[in-house]
Amino acid sequence: MTTKNLLAILSISILSATLAVFLYSTFVEKKNLQQSTYLPVKLASYDDAIFSGKLQRKFLSSAPTNFIEAAKRVTPAVVNIKAIQGSENGIWGRGSGSGVIISPDGFIVTNLHVIDNSSQIHVALDDQREYEAKIIGFDKSSDIALLKIAGNNFPHIIIGNSDSVQVGEWVLAVGNPFNLQSTVTTGIISAKSRNINILDADNPIESFIQTDAVINPGNSGGALVNTNGELIGINTAIITESGRYEGYSFAVPSNLVRKVIKDLKEFGEVKRGFLGINIKQVDDTEAKRLGLSKPNGVCITRVVKNSGAAIAGLQIDDVILKINNKPINSTPELQELVARFHPGNKLVIDVFREGRVQQLTVQLQGIKKEPKDYLRKLKPFFKKYGFEARNLTNAEKRANGTEGVKVISITKGKKIAETNMEIGYIITSVNNQPIHGLFDLFAQLRSAPGENIIFEGIYEEYQGIYQYSFPTE
């Protein structure tokens, strides 16, 4: 074989190999990427210490099954928290949990129940440095608290987009169970938008990410991250009969966390919008009654008078299908989404009504603040009319599908006793004004016009609406 022929064969071989690599990278790899893409994720922007975010590239967060890199990124930013409860006379309690550093200047997210009622909070980093933390603010409705330690250039976690996570996706839980510092466990997303009825708050927001990553006491406040090392949730609770991990762990979604901590940093409190409706899940029976082709969305059971929902024209039996083009299929989904917005924000709501879908725009209102001393001012009204009432528990609200107050005592010979009202009566409105709790009751009794007060409500053991009327004087 001549040298000329050998060079020709070698040139053809190199050209063929180059073409094969080009075709593979162009068509095969591109096809694989197109088969498994995620929504764009917002990165936290720390320039102004507000999580305004930047659009990140699309990523395959669940593609790798090697968790080493994600663990390396996350572990330095997860801290051990020791909460000391005490007074001038000494320490009377200690608690421990986890927290997540979310900015280089030392802001830390944890659960409120980790640091609640504490007089001192000590934070230990993964590199053994220790700091005393101060509380910036907290939100009972989501069980989230924001802390701050002094310093700069701290390792921190990027806040990811919890809307992009999918059931079956690999995740890591990082925390300090049983005071074992920097423990990493893995699992998958088992479900989204779970309500497990554990938060003790007037307006609890439970739309947890469920995972089977191992979480035990001490993990509370720690990080749930995707395989890209981005925070998608704050580990909060487990369901267990033994008191230890049994496969059901729950985390507050990062998109809700982002809104809470932004408000706490800007305002010192969470400013949450009020939609003004009660809703229920749409099951198969309800879907047939309403004319839906299949169970879908959530059904409105009550519209609060003069609320944003009422002003926009929402009605009882409307089925909410989407909010801002995001599908809504459960009460937790709706609660979490609305909780991300402020009073004054407008929501575009797709509702199914009488066989067709229409769009309505609702402007959220603010939740009324209750004066701290209203309970003291309510007592004279209880004495005058001869009864006492308490706020409904969250379980009672869910069981009865309403808000209101429950009558717990009636004084013989007083005005309420003369109406034949019974203990256990749930007051849902006074003079046609809805009652959400004792503050509303106080406001209506204080400003009752005319000669009579009219209560409307229900009994748990009887069907129907019951009305009672009695004179103001």
3-class DSSP state of 57: coil
Nearest to 70 by CA among 219, 220, 224, 256: 224
DSSP assignment string, 414-441: STTGGGT--TT-EEEEETTEE--SHHHH
Is the dihedral angle over the CA atoms 287, 290, 296, 298 positive or is it negative? Answer: negative
CA 235 – CA 137 distance, rounded (Å): 19
Closest CA to 336 of 326, 344, 345: 326
- The active-site residue, picked from 113, 122, 156, 436, is 113
Residue with tokens 């900015």: 103
> How far lies 408's CA from each of 228, 392, 401, in Å?
54, 11, 20
436 is known as an active-site residue: no
Distance CA 346, CA 183 (A): 42
Q: Is 118 a catalytic residue?
A: no
Indicate if the alpha-carbon torsion angle 62, 67, 73, 79 is positive or negative. Answer: positive
Interatomic CA distance for residues 278 and 436, integer angstroms: 11
Query: Which residue out of 139, 143, 263, 318 is catalytically annotated?
Result: 143
Cα separation, 303 vs 297, in Å, equals 17
What interhelical angle do 438-446 and 374-385 show, nearest 10? 60
In this structure, are residues 204 and 252 in contact, taking their beta carbons and an 8 Å threshold?
no
From 61, 182, 220, 330, active-site residue: 220
What is the SS3 assignment for 257?
helix
Residues 218, 97: contact at Cβ < 8 Å? yes
Place of tokens 């095969």: 28
How many angstroms separate the CA atoms of 184 and 304, rounded?
A: 46
Identify whether 122 is a catalytic site residue.
no
Which helix H or strand E contains 277, and what residues bound it? strand 277-281
Question: Which residues are catalytic, by number?
Answer: 113, 143, 220
